[in-house]
Amino acid sequence: MLASIARIRLGQTSPCQLHRSFTFAPVSNYVKLAYDLHKPAKDTDDASTRNAPIIFIHGLFGSKKNNRSMSKVLARDLKRSVYAVDLRNHGDSAHDSRHDYTALAEDVEGFIDEHGLEKPTLIGHSMGAKTAMTVALRSPHKIANLVSIDNAPVDAALKSDFAKYVQAMKRVEEAGVKRQSEADEILKEYEESLPIRQFLLTNLLRTPANTHRFRIPLRHLAAALPAMADFPFRDPDAARFEGPALFVRGTKSHYVPDETLPIIGRFFPRFRVVDIEAGHWVVSEAPEEFRKAVVEFLQDKD
């Protein structure tokens, strides 16, 4: 068992969490997601390798590249295939003007069906965490369990940094920079942290005109920021995931405060919480602690 298990009291949710209801309009054609497949070092015929894959879902402005190292480690340690995906409007996946959690979840559900994956584990960070939670509540029969990294199933305002990053990236494109170092100088005006600037710069591409632009559609994502703060489910009595769920919190982050534990417990009654000494970027800041928590949680499910 994990050392840190949430002991929750199933209290009432606040009015702001339940005052709206949503109609889930289907996406006519789900976006096919680009992905990298990381297999265990030695392929076997073991059923857990074939039928218990992991889908690793990045956060806002990220891509499958961000999870490459951890995907390889989890494939090795758990002897499972790991699909690191690019969500719509990110990485190598197609762009679409619609960008909300219902659409993102339907893309992941389409990916599961397209690849014939049986009861996968979903691991998601930030935007990817809310996407994974949305899949679990929409289609609980499709997945075995989930790992949510530093996000909760509630409406919660995004840090102003995300809007600031969009503004910074737009300035980079408007400047027509020809070198990554020039782009970094502009980003530095908006973000002091070198790791975060390097994370944003993974989206930079060179154009045929020898200038740089970002691969992500800034216009679509800027318009989607309010939806990324939202969560499409309000009533845990109407939608609940009964499978195991692990919520990993960064102790220096504000996205999963203690006040969210009761609502997490109502949507995901079999949840555990593990606190890791890190900020919002838990996987990159504390990779070994994250690996241990996930491996222990998923091995406990085997």
Q: Has 125 been annotated as catalytic?
A: no
Averaged pLDDT of the chain: 88
User: Domains (ranges, CATH) in the chain?
Assistant: 15-156+234-299 (3.40.50.1820), 161-224 (no CATH)
22-39 per-position pLDDT tens digit: 334 444 579 999 999 999
Q: What is the pLDDT of residue 10?
A: 32
Instruction: Compute the radius of gyration of the chain from its Cα atoms.
Output: 19
Which listed residue (63, 71, 126, 148) is catalytic? Answer: 126
pLDDT digits (tens, 9 = 90+) for 199-232: 999 999 999 988 999 999 999 999 999 999 999 9
Out of 58, 90, 212, 280, the active site residue is: 280
What b/e string do you get for 174-206 counting C-beta neighbours within 10 Å, with b at 16 or more? eeebeeeeebbebbeebbeeeebbebbbebbee
Q: Which tokens in the block code for residue 181?
A: 């170092």
Quote the tokens at residue 137: 């509540």
58 is catalytic: no
Specify whether the CB–CB gap between 73 and 38 falls below 8 A.
no
| Model confidence pTM above 0.75 | yes
